[in-house]
Structure 1
Amino acid sequence: MAHALIKEISDDFLTCQICLDTFRKPKILDCVHSFCEDCLKEYVKPGETTVKCPTCQRETALKQNGVSGLKDNFFILNLVETIGARKKVQHSVDKIPCDSCAGTEAVVSRCLTCNDFLCESCVAIHRTLRAFKGHLVVTLDELRTGKYDGEADKTEPTCDIHAGEKMRFYCKTDGIPVCRDCTVLDHPKPEHDVVNLTDVAEVLGASCQSMITELQQALDSTENDIKAVDRSIVDIQTNDRKMEELVDERVSHLVTLIKTLGEQCKEKVEATCRQDVKQLYGEKERLELKKVRLASTQELTQTLLSRGTDIEVASAFRQISQCRDELCTATGPERTAEQVLHATTEKGEGCDVLQGREEWKTLLAISDMVTRPTVSLPNAAPRPHLHKGQLQHIDDGLDGGQVHDSHHKEVNRASQTTLDDPIKIVMDPDIMSYMKQVNGLEVLDIILKNKSLIVINYVNGQTEVEFFGSDAAGSDPNNALEDFTTLYQKIHHGIVCKTLKLRSKHIPPDDVSKAVAKITEDLPRVMLKTTADKDVMFYGTDREVQEAKTAMCEHLGIAERGRRRRGMDGAAGMPGASSRGGTGTVRFTEWFNHTTKEGIQIVVAHGDITQQSVDVIANNANEHLSHGSGVAGAISRAGGPSVQQESSYHVKTYGRVRVTETAVTGGGQLPCKNIIHAVGPRWTHGREDANVRELQQTCYNILNEASATLKAQSVAIPAISSGIFGMPKQKCAESLLSGLVQFLQRANSPSCTLRRIIFIDMDQATVKVLADTFQLSTSALTSTTDSVSQPPPDQFSQTESRKSHTDQGDKGSTSGGDDATGDCPMCMSGITDPKSLPCKHTFCRVCIDTALSYKSQCPMCNTIVGELKGNQPQGRMNWYTTKGTRLAGYENCGAIVINYHFSSGTQGSDHPNPGRRYSGTSWCAYLPDNEEGRELVQLLKRAFDNRLVFTIGTSVTTGATDTVVWNDIHHKINVSGGASSYGYPDPGYLARLREELAAKGIK
């Protein structure tokens, strides 16, 4: 069809972008964009030598004759005529005039060579005359059918300079078609290389085809670049939102931190007060006794003198005289009230802790010392400063000048002191962050002890610590450096770093951020750090880090690697009995167990709700029943796809579930028969009372649904709204208890089927609050006895219920000696089958045997028990002595150079991840070549042979996992640089190394 060609060529292709009409004598620019000649003449200002393309802004130079000198776009011009003719044939309703004669005869054909319409008479002439030989003449019907759409009109363009001359030649020199006259007059040989146009057409066509491929590749590349820029814009906007959220989170953290520091200060002051008051009460009691003895002695002497005989007076005189000498000797109180009061008010104990911390680049200062301005927050508000036992405010001079009191006109003498020549060391940023979070008070003690300043700066990804002296008497920044280094290495020795890989878990970043904030609040002695790969790193002691990782997994509803998702069975340090739920095999830890007079058993337990063999479990759902994370996500994953499918169908059919309402689905692959999806309230400031009532109603609705609708005998309920919904644990516990009481008050009816109600959660802190709240409210649960009932004996493992611990009285845990009548420090239960270690600490035999199977040390005092063996992988150790290497501080002797080498390999059964590859390493360490150094290298050899020097784990400094790392025996890997660079000088290092080896049993 003829309209196929018309459709293929778009109107925009034949439209001038200046006049927005069909091209009239198009001129082509250097950028290959074309425009009408008249349009360009109006577009170019008089006198301009270039024309800027209206489409792409690229400039094209103009010749002397201006726009007229630009090349004609014959292709566009011919295409305009061809398409125009096709449209005229296709759509014209009037007769088309003949282009060859002036007659009125109807047009019947078109010559595609001449590009003319012909009437029937002219067609006969056209085919007869020799001049038209070879011309292609087609009928109008043939044009309409599209039979000749592939044939371009054959009109040969004529020369603009030499009228009527066909352009049948090509000038290679100028790159343009020319006519015969041009080859003689304007493009003569040999200055111009002119060839027949037909000879070069094929070569030019092949070059154009190659250029089409290159242009397509460039087009694809440019489109990809545009998409990359779009992604970058989205990333920047997303990052901006995240940064704003981080700022809000940081501000919230700072507020919480300041409040926490304030509480710590008050606790320290209160502790000092309690100690002093206790001493004064003791002194008062002694004086009261003395007063009684004085009065009785005086009364006896007075009575004897007035009523006794001379013999009786003489007999008692010596004894009375001795009492007089003893009681009347001037012995004042050991510590007067005035002294205690003076010490409390002048010392200002604890107040100065408010001046340090990360908020102001961790500037720590004490009274009568200069505070150097190192504020990193813009427009920071004045911070508190301690002066003569009182909190004041100072403004930081950001130019490094004097610091003036903002509330007093006079300037303290100390504020004019200059701080020159500080001692500077470089530390690991992560360890420093951990110290600030966990060991802030110990750093403060170093400052107070040495009357020095410690300033922490962050420069180019490193942590610089500066130690300044002051003009206070006894200021010793060098000793502050020594104490600080000792604390730093003690911390480095005692902490581990573990990584929880979340990059493949598809957990929303907001859930991770909220979980990190909650873990940091619940476990302040563990530092959490989120990596660029969306993993979470934990810093702290091994036990604290493991507890934090477990809590993180519970909050996110994921399983820890190498652990089954189930309740802990007699876990150390967790009170309660390990019980079986129904007929299943899953055990959980009971913290509260109580049976009402109606025979309904109420249990508070620590465990995994998805593993409980009960008739019904409750789910902490959102209004759209979208189970993505937290408890809801864990239940959905454990129950299989049917849980989410049924939930989505419910919302689609009945609409979203409102707060306090419930929806029921099947249990899927869970042990339970049904799941009650309940929507609890989100904790909202200003609606606290309403939130409490809503959660109470939610709990009641769950229990009523389980009993009245599902006829269930047992139900397990999590701590609804206490997770990411933000309700405080205590408010959550009280609301759940109120909802339970409300249900029990109506449970007298025989129609109540529930016989067992379990409140269960994976968060240990939440479970403790629940258990304590329920324990204090047993009367509200209408119990039949005053004490908490015990579960049947067959439900207990080797520990007893939580009540059994409290029945022990106040005996406490066994801390030493062979007394086995207290609680086991590990399981917190009464000791059964006691076993004492050489350090005199006593435990349950099963508890201590289990602990010793992991590490041959007493859990209480870390005393080595038996021969300690490590899990160091296969490697080699060798050393040699050299006099050419001198260690800073030991310049009078040579050095012992120790080389360690470990190749990469596969972890064994005693390593963290058996079967997984680990990365090898090589280290070089140094000891002084003196008597003590030679003795220590032999001890290190023994430790190496016992596989104690290295282990496989996560690097504290790099965060790399499954690699060979040091195992709490510190080495000097540099000959200089000081303790912070793991080098010399470090006067106390050899003694510390000997202690670390002794802690491993190497003496």
Structure 2
Amino acid sequence: MATAAFSDEVSGDSLECSICCYTFKNPKVLPCLHTFCEHCLREWVQKNDGDTFLCPICRQPVPLPQDGVEGLKDNVFLARLVKAVTEHHKIRQGKDVLLCTSCDEGKPATSRCSECAEFLCESCESAHRLVRATKGHTLFTFEELKTGKYDKVFRARTAPPCSKHSGEILKLYCRTCETPICNECALFEHRDSQHDFARIEEVAAEKRETILALTPQCQARMQFFCETEGVQKRLKEQLQLNAEGARQNVQKTVQTLIALVKEEGERLLTCVDTEEKSRRKQIDAGIEAAQISLASAKSTCEFAETLAREGGDYEVVSFSQDMTSRLNDLTKPPADTVDFELANITVDYSVMEHKLTTNSPKSAQYSLPTPMERELCSLLKCALQNRTSSRTGLPDLKPSGPRVSGNVSRKVHGK
């Protein structure tokens, strides 16, 4: 069975920035171990104000160094991996010319040194084989590398040079300071007895063992998070169902109340119409009586004025007694007064209030079904039980007491 090529094993999402979706360029790693291109992070940070910003993936707050994004830690591992994969791809494809990295003459490279990770032209290759410091190095031609048999040379990592001492390689690790150091660092800055340092490959072996020991715990937690995600999605679905049920309940209750109010409204309108009709008859009777009295008074006054002006002595004397009596009656206060209460209409809502009280909607609760809650709790418990006894830090779940799954029920006023 053929073994996958080195570039095929590590290429893909692991080498792509999740912001720009292109291969990493000058990758910067955050404290949460998520990595992004430097220019992508710079644009991301510009959208945030303050001394911190949120990781684009996990949203954890990240302190911004004084010199900005540039001060964030370089992901040297991914940068070298991208470089190695890119070089391996170019050699296997043979489309791009790789230049010699050992000289400045710009000549095309013909081989690669396994120990130095340098591409060499023919001249530098000859010199590499002669110089005492490098003559024992293993060189591979491009034709040999194209076969894929020597992909391990691309996996090799050379120790970086010390930034404090020129020409020195970081071959040691100070456990006290938790930093790689070179021989010069060990002789001067880390020479007292308080500093505990060892060869970097020994420390790396210990660190690898620790990392690999913690990985299964992380995988167990991943399973728990996977189950939690599934449970949350189930909760979301149930919430949608409950919300839809609540909406239907509200609509039905509102329609019932509207029908009840309309029915009582029609009855009250009928009462108003009846009361208006009765009072209108009384007012019309008063108007008619006033009109009759007005006509009578008018005719009496007109007759009295005509009699006094045009009548003879005998005629005036003959009518004087009746006329005087009639005129005196008209000067007296009227016996009937206007009833102003006839214009008032009272609407009695007591019956409607009683009906609304009697038919008042009760609170409706749409909750997570108990069987489903038990099922979801069981799923999370199983995920917890899959951990070893050393895996701690995840919450305990209990069917009673506060619900781990959350309460998606909401009390709404409905019938």
Instruction: Quickly name the TM-score band, shorter chain normalised.
Output: 0.5 to 0.7
Structure 1 equivalent of residue 211 of structure 2 = 208
Q: Deviations over 1:2-29 (max 9, x none)?
A: 9822222234433345565543443321
2:261 aligns with one of 359, 374, 381: 381
1:175 aligns with one of 166, 174, 178: 178
Distance 1:184-1:378 versus aligned 2 partners, 3 A rule: farther
1:5 and 2:26 equivalent?
no
Structure 1 equivalent of residue 28 of structure 2 = 27
Structure 2 equivalent of residue 227 of structure 1 = 230
Query: What are the within-5 Å matches in structure 2 for residues 56-205 of structure 1?
Result: 56-64=58-66, 66-93=68-95, 95-101=97-103, 107-132=109-134, 135-151=137-153, 152-183=155-186, 189=192, 192-205=195-208
Q: Deviations over 1:634-656 (max 9, x none)?
A: xxxxxxxxxxxxxxxxxxxxxxx
Return the alpha-carbon distance in structure 2 between the equivalents of residues 248 and 38 of structure 1.
53
Return the alpha-carbon distance in structure 2 between the equivalents of residues 64 and 188 of structure 1.
31
Structure 2 equivalent of residue 236 of structure 1 = 239
Q: Is the 8 A contact 2:162 2:168 kept in 1?
A: yes
Q: Is the 8 A contact 2:111 2:141 kept in 1?
A: yes
Query: What are the within-5 Å matches in structure 2 for residues 314-325 of structure 1?
Result: none
Paired amino acid for 1:81: K
Across the two proteins, how many residue pairs are aligned to each other? 285
Specify the SS of the correspondent of 1:381: helix
Deviation at 1:94, TM superposition (A): 5.4
Specify the SS of the correspondent of 2:157: coil
Deviation at 1:99, TM superposition (A): 3.0
Deviation at 1:237, TM superposition (A): 2.1
Q: Deviations over 1:99-118 (max 9, x none)?
A: 33467876432112211122
Return the alpha-carbon distance in structure 2 between the equivalents of residues 181 and 247 of structure 1.
79
Deviation at 1:73, TM superposition (A): 1.7
Specify the SS of the correspondent of 1:236: helix
Return the alpha-carbon distance in structure 2 between the equivalents of residues 184 and 4 of structure 1.
43
Paired amino acid for 2:79: L
Q: Is the 8 A contact 2:54 2:62 kept in 1?
A: yes
Q: Is the 8 A contact 1:2 1:145 kept in 2?
A: no
Structure 2 equivalent of residue 409 of structure 1 = 346
* Structure with the bigger percentage of strand: 1
Q: Is the 8 A contact 1:111 1:135 kept in 2?
A: yes
Q: Which runs of 5+ in 2 are unaligned?
A: 273-343, 352-356, 372-415
Query: What are the within-5 Å matches in structure 2 for residues 658-737 of structure 1?
Result: none
Q: Is the 8 A contact 1:113 1:135 kept in 2?
A: yes
Return the alpha-carbon distance in structure 2 between the equivalents of residues 107 and 43 of structure 1.
39
Q: Deviations over 1:651-697 (max 9, x none)?
A: xxxxxxxxxxxxxxxxxxxxxxxxxxxxxxxxxxxxxxxxxxxxxxx
Distance 1:154-1:211 versus aligned 2 partners, 3 A rule: same
Specify the SS of the correspondent of 1:217: helix
Q: Deviations over 1:837-882 (max 9, x none)?
A: xxxxxxxxxxxxxxxxxxxxxxxxxxxxxxxxxxxxxxxxxxxxxx
Q: Deviations over 1:176-232 (max 9, x none)?
A: 333344446665645554332112111111222233323322333223222222222
Q: Is the 8 A contact 1:3 1:146 kept in 2?
A: no
Q: Which runs of 5+ in 1 are unaligned?
A: 255-376, 394-406, 417-453, 462-530, 534-1003
What RMSD, in angstroms, separates the aligned Cα atoms of the two structures? 4.5
Specify the SS of the correspondent of 2:5: helix
Paired amino acid for 2:6: L
Q: Is the 8 A contact 2:11 2:85 kept in 1?
A: no
Q: Kindly name which structure, 1 or 2, has the bigger radius of gyration based on alpha carbons.
A: 2
Return the alpha-carbon distance in structure 2 between the equivalents of residues 221 and 188 of structure 1.
47
Specify the SS of the correspondent of 2:110: strand
* Structure with the bigger percentage of helix: 2
Return the alpha-carbon distance in structure 2 between the equivalents of residues 207 and 228 of structure 1.
32
Question: Please, what TM-score do these two structures have when normalized by structure 2?
Answer: 0.54
Return the alpha-carbon distance in structure 2 between the equivalents of residues 35 and 457 of structure 1.
59
Q: Is the 8 A contact 2:90 2:96 kept in 1?
A: no
Q: Is the 8 A contact 1:173 1:193 kept in 2?
A: yes
Return the alpha-carbon distance in structure 1 between the equivalents of residues 171 and 259 of structure 2.
79
Q: Deviations over 1:383-432 (max 9, x none)?
A: 659x9xxx979xxxxxxxxxxxxx961769xx69xxxxxxxxxxxxxxxx
Deviation at 1:79, TM superposition (A): 0.7
Return the alpha-carbon distance in structure 2 between the equivalents of residues 211 and 35 of structure 1.
24
Question: Please, what TM-score do these two structures have when normalized by structure 1?
Answer: 0.25
